[in-house]
Amino acid sequence: MRIEGKGRIDRARRVAFTFDGHRHEGFGGDTLASALLADGVRLMARSFKYHRPRGVMTAGSEEPNALVTLGLGAAQVPNARATTVELHEGLVARSQNRWPSLGFDVMAVNDLMAPFFGAGFYYKTFMWPKAFWEKVYEPAIRRAAGLGALSAEPAEDRFERAYAHCDLLVIGAGPAGLMAAWAAAEAGADVILAEEDVAPGGRLLAETFWRGGRAYLTLYSFAGRNANQTLGLLVTRRMEQVGLDPVGFVANDYALLIWGLQRVADPAPLLAPGELHEDFEGWLSENAVMKRTFRTAAVIAMLIERNHPGKRKTGRQATFSSDILYDALRKYDPDHLMLRITRDEAARGLVDYGRIETMLERVQGRIDTVAAPHVTPLAAPLLLEMGKVPIQGMAQNRALEEEAEHLMQEAGLG
């Protein structure tokens, strides 16, 4: 299923493929299943034993029904799940376990006999004569109840394989898996990150709910406390700019919780990597972190002289304040090498922005927002978390104005 504005679908790139000899078209980023569904094809397979019509039931590798054969000749691959097959130009796919066609399967007559066929009935029924089981009964039953088949021709393709060892194996490259692998690698571990999808990144879960007259937004990034805290500073800054009146936020290792006066219906615009990066640059440049980092870099680059105890400068020696130098470069040469180094060092060493940026780029367009009727089990611990950060902004002014208005009305002066 395609959802407008979501996922990896590239509607500017059309992809032609065939299914059971019929030509179809999809888009770049489609799976075989999503392209067939969008083209009106619902029937994709027949059931294992009774040959009942089957369509797509799930959206991933757990799909039990839509099993197809890919390719022709020696290169054909049976029992591929249509929900995990990435569409590409010239893909040839066909249904399996049917005869003569998917729409009209003679073996569907088995379904009429289903009331009389108990589980494993053939092991009790086809017992005599004994020699018939191996030569007659079993081959016939396997043909009637089989799935796809290999071509039996030697394949000329070369397949990758590796005998790999690691300190940590992370299965699943969603936000949690990526951040776990990142943290382990930074600690010096040899990490293998395994992902069944065509690309890492997964999806980002966002939850919204009301509690105590406040609208809450929870983002489950699994990026670590420092990164989530920085994300909180940036997202609340964006919320302030668009009039969503944030009141405060709190972060822990796995999530960020923000509360305010307005409900966030769609958090995707607040998490756009490009705009957040601009906000990050603006916030960081105004922060004391940048000036402190610049001072260290300027001393190393010998732009300013390090102060030594007991050594006094003469009046003829020119002395420069690192703050003045920093402000001058920001104003007249914002892309100066020293400023780029300072930004990189501050972002990497102090606020973990790199993790945030990587996570947001991976999940762009794949944010699942759940409007919960009440506080959720994963959000509840965040409400009890210490270190809540208040936002000094328009929300406070608005709350004071509303309180003053209620007070005036209560006193009969409104």
Per the model's pLDDT, the better-predicted residue between 4 and 388 turns out to be 388
pLDDT at 406 over 50: yes
* pLDDT score for 166: 94
Q: Residues 259-280: what's their mean pLDDT? A: 85
Tokens of 39: 């083209």
- Whether residue 315 is predicted with pLDDT greater than 50 in this model: the reply is no
Complete domains list, the chain, with CATH: 10-144 (3.10.20.440), 162-202 (no CATH), 204-307+318-397 (no CATH)
Among residues 37, 353, 363, which one has the least CA distance to residue 219?
A: 363
Residue 318 has pLDDT above 50, yes or no: no
- Reported as a single tens digit per residue, the pLDDT across 27-38 is 998 999 999 999
The whole-angstrom separation of Cα 180 and Cα 178 is: 6
CA torsion through residues 25, 26, 28, 29, sign: negative
pLDDT the model gives residue 131: 76
Maximum Cα interatomic distance, the chain, rounded to a whole number of Å: 115
How far the first Cα of the chain sits from its last, in Å, is: 54
What's the mean per-residue pLDDT of the chain? 82
Residue 67: predicted pLDDT = 94
> How sure is the predictor about 226, in pLDDT bands with cuts at 50, 70 and 90?
confident
Section 118-133 average pLDDT: 69
User: Does 404 score more than 80 pLDDT?
Assistant: no
Closest CA to 355 of 186, 208, 217, 170: 186
pLDDT at 316: 39
* 274-300 pLDDT, tens digit each: 777 777 767 666 665 577 778 888 888
Residue 232 has pLDDT above 60, yes or no: yes
Backbone φ and ψ of 137, nearest 5° = -65, -55
Task: Decide if pLDDT at 211 tops 90.
Answer: yes
Question: pTM of the predicted model, to two decimals?
Answer: 0.63
Q: How confident is the model at residue 363, as a pLDDT?
A: 79
Q: Cα separation of 309 and 85, whole Å?
A: 68
Instruction: Give the position of tokens 């059309």.
Output: 14
Please indicate whether residue 57 or residue 347 has the higher confidence score (pLDDT). Answer: 57
- DSSP type of residue 111: G
Mean of pLDDT values over 31-52? 91
- Model confidence at 118, pLDDT cuts 50, 70, 90, reads low
Strands (E) located in 188-263: 191-194, 204-211, 214-220, 246-251, 256-260
Which has more confidence, 128 or 216? Answer: 216
Alpha-carbon gap, residue 104 to 320, rounded angstroms: 86
> Which band of pLDDT confidence, cut at 50, 70 and 90, is reported for residue 319?
very low
pLDDT at res. 17: 96
